[in-house]
Amino acid sequence: MNKKGKIIVLSAPSGCGKSTIINSILGSGELDLRFSVSATNRAPRAGEEDGVNYHFITTEQFRDAIAADEFVEWEQVYPGRYYGTLRRELKDAAERGENTILDIDVKGAMAVKKQFGDDALLIFIMPPSIEDLRNRLVKRGTDTPQVIEERVGKAEYELSFADNFDLRIVNDDLPVAVAATESAISAFIK
C-alpha cells in the first residue's frame, strides 16, 4: 500500500514569525514537505504570485467554490476577506504520499483537525507574551496605534485556542523556534 501523505498545520497570531518559520523550513529542504496554496479574494501584495502564495480569485469565484463544496475549510479571517483550503490541494498530495504544510488561521486549524484527526499535526506558534507582541508590532512600524491594538486584541482571541493544538512553540528566539518546529514535523511524518 502507498504511504498516505500527512498534514501539518501552522497557526499563529499576526507578528509571531509564522511565515518566517514556514519559509525557513521549506527553504532548507530538510523535510519532504509541500505548501498548500490557499484561495483568497484579497489582492496580491508586492512580490506575491498567483498559484504560489495563494490562488487569487474574485469574491464571486470564492462564493462559487463554496457552493461547489471545493473547500476543506474556509473562513472570513478579516471583514470581507475570505481564505480557504482547497480540497484538491490536499487530495492530490495525499494520493501521491506527499506531506503538506498549511498556513491557516486558528478556526481553520480546528476544522482540519476535525476532518483529518491523527493524520494532521496542529502547531501553534506563540509570542512570549502579549506585551512582547505589542512591542514587536510597534518596532515594526508598519501599523498605526489603532491597528496595533486591533491586532493585539485579535491575538488575545487567537491565543485562547492554543490549548486545542497538538503542540505550542514559543517564538522567543527564531532559530530555536525553527529547530523545534522542524523536529516536531520530522517526528510526525516519519
Query: Which residues make up the interface to ligand 5GP (CB under 6 A)?
Result: 38, 42, 73, 75, 77, 83-85, 103-105, 107-108
Between 94 and 105, name the residue whose CB sits nearer to ligand 5GP: 105
Nearer to ligand 5GP, 77 or 122 (CB): 77
CB of 36 to ligand 5GP, least distance (A): 8
Q: Tell the smallest beta-carbon distance from residue 49 to ligand 5GP (Å).
A: 13
Least distance from ligand 5GP to the Cβ atom of residue 50, Å:
13
Residue 102 CB, nearest distance to ligand 5GP (Å)?
7
As separate numbers, helices (DSSP H) first and strands (DSSP E) second, the chain gives: 7, 9
Extract the C-alpha cell encoding 188.
510526525
The single residue listed with the C-alpha cell 462559487 is 64
| Closest separation in Å from C-beta 10 to ligand 5GP | 8
81-86 sheet: strands from edge to edge: 54-56, 38-40, 81-86, 71-78
d(CA 125, CA 159): 10
Instruction: Find the angle CA(4)-CA(104)-CA(25) to the nearest 5 degrees.
Output: 65
Q: Which residues of 159-186 are buried (b: 16+ CB within 10 A; e: fewer)?
A: bebeeebbeebbbeeeeebbebbbebbe
CB of 44 to ligand 5GP, least distance (A): 10
Residue 104's φ and ψ, nearest 5 degrees, are -135, 170
Q: Which is nearer to ligand 5GP, 5 or 84 (CB)?
A: 84
- Cβ proximity to ligand 5GP: between 86 and 178 the closer is 86
CA–CA separation, 114 vs 155, rounded Å? 23
By beta-carbon proximity to ligand 5GP, the closer residue of 36 and 99 is: 36
Closer Cβ to ligand 5GP, 3 or 106, answer by number: 106
Nearest residue to ligand 5GP, scored by beta-carbon proximity: 108
